[in-house]
Amino acid sequence: MKKISLILTSILLMSALAACTSNSSTTEQPATTPTTENTGTGNPAATNPEATTPTEGATSTDPASTESASAQNAKIVANKKVVASMYQDVLNGHQADKIDMYLADDYKEHDPMIATGKEAFKTYIASFIKANPDYKVNVKGMIGQNDLVAVMNYPMANPDDPGQAAVDIFRVTDGKIVEHWNTVQSVTGASSMIQNLLPSASTTADVAATDKAIVASNAQFVSNFFNSFFVEHNTDAASGVVSESLVQHNVKMKDGIEPLVNNYLAQFRANPDSTATVVNMVAEGDMVLIQSQMKKNADDAGQSVVQIFRVENNEIAEMWMLSQDVPAKTVNENGMF
């Protein structure tokens, strides 16, 4: 199972990175595959010779590359505007009749509680808003890459609702939303703790000014780490890649590299057949977002897990994570992935 998961993950990661690196003047870095699996042996603080680092000062100097990057940015901006307007008009404006403006006729839904298709979504939203007239979504930020837009947000049924932390990922084609995935985690605790569950990013349709070469390098850097650490259970991969002073937003873990390594070392020992399969990947600016299906074993339905990594000074400096159990039954036939 683990080898199959690694193959699927590598294919998805390389596909997501291809368009990003096509506008880069840097050489694509190959994904690392550890020769030995670390599920409890070895020194977690040992140097990882296979780790690659983001390119410092990388720039796109080829005029054709610059033009292509500009065109790509324009597409991302347009996609973000579609998604942002849908939130404003439909989810926060409670205008279900405007759904036709934003969703494609062949809209595909992965939310386990909503049937697939534009008309089904329209029916669900109209009913939900009627039952929750004070419903509001507080958008904390958006990032986009290629045809995907990821929205970090806090939906609330009413002002007294502690709410949920959510990441919604939309695929946009020809100005219409054609597919949607989400991962939603209920939240408890102080409001300051809740607000730290997701990163802050621009809520406008602008694209971060970070050069495409650096974005591509960051994405490759994180994908290498994800493959080695989460897919192959090689906790040595954190050394030299994750900052010693890592800022951790997972409420179950403390800051620093050591708690991260120790936590997953225990998990991998307890679940040696666990797998992590990438579903979506979005990189913009200094952030790389990965949605994956994580399973303890072949019989486990698993969880939808969204991890967001911030890269700074050639290291993973900050991490966020949301998770949602995959239900035994879903309203639509598409499943969560």
- The pair of structure tokens assigned to 35 is 């020769």
Confidence of residue 252 (pLDDT cuts 50, 70, 90): confident
Average pLDDT over residues 228-248: 97
Q: What is the pLDDT of residue 160?
A: 83
Average pLDDT over residues 280-301: 97
Domain enclosing residue 301, as ranges:
2-32+53-59+209-325
d(CA 151, CA 81): 12
Same domain for 183 and 239, yes or no, is: no
pLDDT over 80 at 11, yes or no: no
Same domain for 157 and 74, yes or no, is: yes
d(CA 76, CA 147): 7
Is residue 127 in a domain?
Answer: yes
Between these two residues, 160 and 224, which has the higher pLDDT value?
224
Q: What is the pLDDT of residue 29?
A: 34
CATH number at residue 223: 3.10.450.50
Average pLDDT over residues 236-240: 97
The percentage of the chain sitting over the pLDDT mark of 70, rounded to a whole number, equals 78
Q: What is the pLDDT of residue 162?
A: 76
Residue that finishes a domain, picked among 195, 220, 240: 195
- The string of DSSP letters for 78-131 reads HHHHHHHHHIIIIITT--GGGHHHHEEEEEEE--TTS-SSHHHHHHHHHHHHHH
Q: What is the pLDDT of residue 240?
A: 95
Q: What is the mean pLDDT of the chain?
A: 83
Q: What is the pLDDT of residue 210?
A: 87
Query: Which of these ranges, 57-61, 225-229, 266-270, 282-286, has the smallest mean pLDDT?
Result: 57-61
Q: What is the pLDDT of residue 194?
A: 65
Q: Which long-range contacts does 203-206 make (Cβ < 8 Å, 24+ apart)?
A: 203/84, 203/139, 203/140, 203/141, 203/142, 204/80, 204/84, 205/77, 205/78, 205/80, 205/81, 205/84, 205/142, 206/77, 206/80
Q: In total, how many domains does the chain have?
A: 2
Tens-place pLDDT, residues 164-216:
999 999 999 999 999 999 999 987 765 555 668 899 888 888 899 888 899 99
Q: What is the pLDDT of residue 186?
A: 86
Is residue 279 in a domain?
Answer: yes
pLDDT over 60 at 230, yes or no: yes
Q: What is the pLDDT of residue 40?
A: 34
Residue that finishes a domain, picked among 172, 195, 218: 195
